[in-house]
């Protein structure tokens, strides 16, 4: 059995305010308090706390579950379900321990041959994930726009700072600066033209004021 109270400094931790989209692959031990929308694959231990919600299939060696899982669980070694656990899916396990959890789905104890198949599948998926991670190359073509300006300060410690030299401006930055200057010059010229037209325009002639009508005397018939 697993002992959750035992301290394990090797845990990686996803807090309750974290939401992960996509496949999670890891070795060692991971504790999740937040949300995961995607598959979880591991050759180690997965701890799903009561606040956690997993939407996706789980393929691990060992799992301690107190939260909610919408998906199938395959554990080549052990599945431990605590009283707050909720599983909406099938469970395939090497060993199973249940403490009053809610489970909607079937459960199946793996044979030695099936355990070997699950472990092989898990190892292959982990190798594929590691290969993709090694082949990933970030796009650094746009990094120059994050360069610090001359004289800017970068905090190094509580009482220490140093001036970071700015990287040379790229051609695109120079072109953008030139376009901004052109726009400013055009705006200034347009304002000057409008001001000149306003000062030279003749004043509008006013309509003559009409005299108020006067009463006319009517002679006696």
Q: Biggest alpha carbon distance in the chain?
A: 137
Residue matched to tokens 């030139």: 178
CA gap 74, 163 in Å, rounded: 54
CA gap 122, 76 in Å, rounded: 9
For the whole model, what pTM was predicted?
A: 0.58
Closest CA to 60 of 9, 122, 15: 122
Rounded to the nearest angstrom, the gap between the alpha carbon of residue 181 and the centroid of all alpha carbons in its chain is 36
Structure tokens at 151: 């004289």
Three-state secondary-structure class, residue 152: coil
Structure tokens at 107: 């459960």
Residues 30-88: pLDDT tens digits?
999 999 999 999 999 999 999 999 999 999 999 999 999 999 999 999 999 999 999 99
CA gap 101, 50 in Å, rounded: 12
Q: Is the pLDDT of residue 134 over 60?
A: yes
Report strand pairing: 35-37 vs 53-55.
parallel
Closest CA to 29 of 11, 43, 15, 41: 11
Of the two residues 65 and 100, the one the predictor is more confident about is 65
pLDDT of residue 54: 96
pLDDT band at 12 (very low <50, low <70, confident <90, very high): confident
Residue matched to tokens 């109270």: 5
Structure tokens at 10: 């090797």
């Amino acid at each position: 059995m697993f002992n959750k109270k035992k301290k394990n400094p090797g845990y990686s931790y996803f807090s309750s305010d974290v939401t992960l989209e996509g496949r999670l692959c890891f070795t060692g031990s991971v504790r999740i308090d937040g949300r995961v929308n995607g598959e979880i694959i591991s050759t180690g231990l997965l701890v799903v706390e009561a606040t956690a919600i997993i939407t996706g299939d789980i393929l691990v060696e060992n799992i301690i579950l107190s939260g909610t899982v919408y998906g199938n669980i395959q554990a080549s070694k052990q599945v431990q379900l605590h009283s707050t656990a909720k599983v909406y899916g099938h469970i395939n396990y090497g060993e199973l321990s249940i403490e009053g959890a809610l489970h909607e789905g079937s459960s199946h104890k793996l044979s030695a041959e099936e355990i070997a198949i699950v472990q092989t599948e898990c190892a292959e998926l982990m190798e594929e994930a590691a290969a993709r991670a090694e082949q990933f190359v970030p796009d650094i073509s746009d990094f120059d726009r994050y360069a610090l300006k001359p004289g800017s300060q970068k905090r190094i410690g509580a009482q220490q700072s140093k001036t970071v030299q700015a990287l040379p401006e790229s051609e695109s930055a120079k072109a953008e600066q030139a376009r901004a200057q052109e726009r400013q010059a055009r705006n200034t010229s347009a304002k000057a033209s409008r001001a000149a037209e306003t000062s030279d325009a003749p004043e509008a002639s006013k309509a003559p004021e009409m005299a108020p009508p006067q009463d006319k005397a009517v002679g006696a018939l």
